Every structure is written in C-alpha cells, then in structure tokens.
Homo-oligomer: A and B are copies of this chain.
Amino acid sequence: MGDTRIVLSEREMPQRWYNIQPDLPAPLAPPINPATGKPIGPEDLAPIFPMELIKQEVSMERWIDIPDEILEIYKLWRPSPLYRALRLEKALKTPARIYYKNESFSPAGSHKPNTAVVQAYYNKKEGVKRICTETGAGQWGSGLALACCLFGLKCTVYMVRISYDQKPYRKVLIRTWGAEVFPSPTDKTNAGRAILEKDPDSSGSLGIAISEAVEDAASHDDAKYSLGSVLNHVLMHQTIVGLELKQQLKIAGEEPDIIAGCVGGGSNFAGQCFPFVKDKLDGKKIDFIACEPTACPTLTRGAYRYDFGDTAELTPLLKMYTLGHRFIPAPIHAGGLRYHGNAPLLCLLVNKGVIEARAYHQKEAFEAAVTFARTEGSLCAPETSHCIKAAIDEALKCKETGEEKCIVIAYSGHGFFDLASYEKYLDGELIDYEHPDEKIKEALKDIPEIVEPGA
C-alpha cells in the first residue's frame, strides 16, 4: 500500500506552465469584437489587461517559463499535496484507487491564487497601481486581494450585493488583505448608477459587477482589470496544478483512468486535466469528467456558439457553450458554478469529445461531500462536491465491474465559508433545481447571430 499523501519538494515544483493551444485537436475560434464583428486584436485588450497577459492569451508556445518572483510566491502554498483517499475507498468497498489533489491549503482556500498572483505580478511589472475585479461568492475576490497585497498593489473588488450581505466573512477576508470591497451595484460607476436608478434595491449580479470593474479599470490610467477564469491565460496559469499532479501520480506508480473536476468558468478543471489531454489525443485512455450543476447546465444543455461573457453585453464575444448571456441560474449554494458560459478552451475539448460533461443536483453533491468529510475528514466547498459525487459514482461502478481504476478528484477548495449551506443540507432544507426545456430554449434565444470568421 502506498503513501496516504504524496508531497513534492519545492525543488520539484514545475518551472513552466503548459499552454494547450498548440496541441488542440482543432483551431480555437478567436474572440470577436461585437462592434465590428471582427476578431479582436491585442490593441482592443490593452486598456484593461497588461501586455504580457495579452501575449499569453494568444501564445502558441507550448511551455511558458514561470518567473522566479512567482515561483517564490507559489511556495507559500505550493506544491500542493496529492492524497490517496484510502478511507473513502474502504467505506465504498471499491477496488478503485481514489486520489484527490488538494488546492484548499492556499491562504484564500482554493486554486484561485494560482492565477491571481501571476496577474498581479505582470500588472505590477507594467506599472499598474490598482487592479479592479468582480466577485460573486468571494473566492476570486479574496484570491486577488491576497495577490495584490503580496505585490503591494491596490485592489478594488465589486462584490455582488446579495453575496456581500449574505456572506460577510469573505468580504472581511478581502479587507484583511487590504483591498477595498464594494457591494455592487455601486454609485461609483455609470454602469452601477444606471442600475440603481432603475432599481435602488438591486441585489446585483455577476454581469453587473463585471461591467463596474471593467469600467473602473478602463476609466483610470493606473488601473487594470483582472478575470479569475474563462480566459486562456488564466487556464494556463492553473496548469501548475495538473503538472504537479502528473509528477505525483508517477511517484505513486499510477496512470489516471479518470480525472473529475467541477466547472464554473473552467479554470480549475482545465488546470488539472490539460496536462493530460495530449496523452489522450496520443491514444491513452483517460476519462475527463467536467462536473456542473443541473441548476446551471452550460456544458450539458447549452449551445456551442459565440456569446457575450456578461449580461450587459460589454465583453468580447467568445465561442463557448452558453445558456445565453441573460440566463439566470437557480440559486444553488455552489456560487462559483453559476455562470452561463464557460472557458473557450475547455468548450472546444468538450465539443470534440475529449472531455465529457455531467450535471449533478446539489443534494446528491452535498451527500457526497458529507460522505467525504466523514471518511477523509476534510470539508470541501460546495463547488468541489460535484466532482466528489462523480468520483464516488465511478468508484461504485468499479465495485460492480471489479475494475481497479485510478480516479483523481480535483479538490478545488474548502467549505469553511459555506457552512450555512451544509446546515441547510443537514436540516433537509436544500432544494434541487432542474430547468424545464422551455426555459433553456428561451434563454438560448438571447445568443447573438454571429458568423464565425473563416466559417
């Protein structure tokens, strides 16, 4: 029997990120400027992103060196441990071997800082003084607040008002790291004021918060904007997770049969599985399972089309699975998975059949999370619970078939800020949501008609 925990030394930490773009099975459709209908160029993005990140966004280099300054910062929580879930296996009586790559030990409690510190670094290097962003439940906002703090940058977080009021702890965490955080909509931006004029009691949305953060960045010379998922460079930064995982599985003498991860914007799962995608394209048998909530079934019921990233139609158009940019997901507790779209890179691989998508109800996901907590000890985030459910399902299948599969869980974060939702689960108060076909069809109608360049 192997070790319970496989830990890499700092010296074994990957020195390069993996950029999947040159290895894709088909070319990635470019982002489109909604005003011109043409692919956007670096100059379109320069007002809100530093040039180095824009270069990474379109790079065709397979490997990109991680700067020494980032490697130093990564050491505050990386390399992250890979655990063998021996006690869960035993409880399930499965012949499968279950591992979980644990990203919950970063100071912000999730994988988010892996890209936040990189974005802060390049902004700092290019003279930016302040970074603006939006946050829903607060995982990304706290990750970026930490990153800005570590690099001596100012940070402004527009937090969806309903989360700001209902989840006060994440807000305090953001403030502890020295960032300013406002409930969005605010009266500080045109976008916010326009909303407040119509509805002074607006509880906000991620779409509105994005509009405020982008406007704030674009209208101040010393400020830029930062996004916590979806974009190519964000996914690439997260590949440090999968690259570590690959080394750790090798030490354990394992080849993964299944890698399961939850998907909101896609960066967590992409980070874990992209370094294994080429192996699959080269003929290896690996199942990548992208787990989403039935309440926001982007990959399983959305259309693969060009759509806006935000409700207010301010962002470039991205080719992705989408439920329509005005789709309103049901109010589930995995706030990080409530996004109408998804990362274009991940969507392409789903579309080509390389990655499989599955949707789960929140009650069965919480049930899996509690099973995990009662066997392995650790309390996962509601987002993470979705892929634990997938892993348990697969392990139980192995029990039927006798297959000794190696299953890897992308354990993206802890649930210490989500105990109110655990309480609802324990009290039997959680509700499952399944959108009727009619609602999905209606939402898809908002997707603009775009002719794909070169199509």
**Residue positions of A touching B, CB distance < 8 A:** 3-5, 7, 9-10, 72, 75-77, 83, 87, 105-107, 109, 113, 146, 149-150, 168-169, 172-173, 175-178, 370, 373-374, 376-379, 414, 416-417, 419-420, 422-423, 426
Interface pair B178/A416, CB less than 8 Å apart: no
Interface pair A178/B374, CB less than 8 Å apart: yes
- Cα A10 to Cα B82 in complex, Å, equals 13
Q: Which residues of B contact A72 (CB under 8 A)?
A: 4
Chain B: minimal CB distance from A72 (Å)? 8
List, sorted by A's number, 25 A–B pairs whose CB atoms are closer than 8 Å.
A3-B9, A3-B10, A4-B10, A4-B72, A4-B76, A5-B75, A7-B7, A76-B87, A77-B377, A105-B105, A107-B377, A107-B378, A113-B377, A146-B377, A149-B374, A169-B419, A172-B420, A172-B422, A172-B423, A175-B422, A176-B373, A176-B419, A176-B426, A177-B373, A416-B416
Chain B: minimal CB distance from A367 (Å)? 12
- Cα A378 to Cα B150 in complex, Å, equals 11
- Cα A178 to Cα B91 in complex, Å, equals 15
Q: Which residues of B contact A379 (CB under 8 A)?
A: 107, 173, 176
Q: Which residues of B contact A373 (CB under 8 A)?
A: 107, 176-177
Q: Which residues of B contact A176 (CB under 8 A)?
A: 370, 373-374, 379, 419, 422, 426
- Cα A177 to Cα B3 in complex, Å, equals 24
Chain B: minimal CB distance from A137 (Å)? 14
Considering only CB atoms, which chain B residue lies closest to A78 in the complex? Answer: B5
Q: Which residues of B contact A168 (CB under 8 A)?
A: 419-420, 423
Interface pair A109/B416, CB less than 8 Å apart: yes
Q: Which residues of B contact A169 (CB under 8 A)?
A: 416, 419-420
Chain B: minimal CB distance from A312 (Å)? 31
Q: Which residues of B contact A370 (CB under 8 A)?
A: 176
List 19 extra interface pairs beyond A176-B373, A416-B417, CB under 8 A.
A5-B10, A5-B75, A7-B9, A76-B377, A87-B150, A107-B376, A107-B378, A107-B379, A150-B377, A168-B423, A169-B419, A172-B420, A172-B423, A172-B426, A173-B416, A173-B419, A173-B422, A175-B423, A176-B370
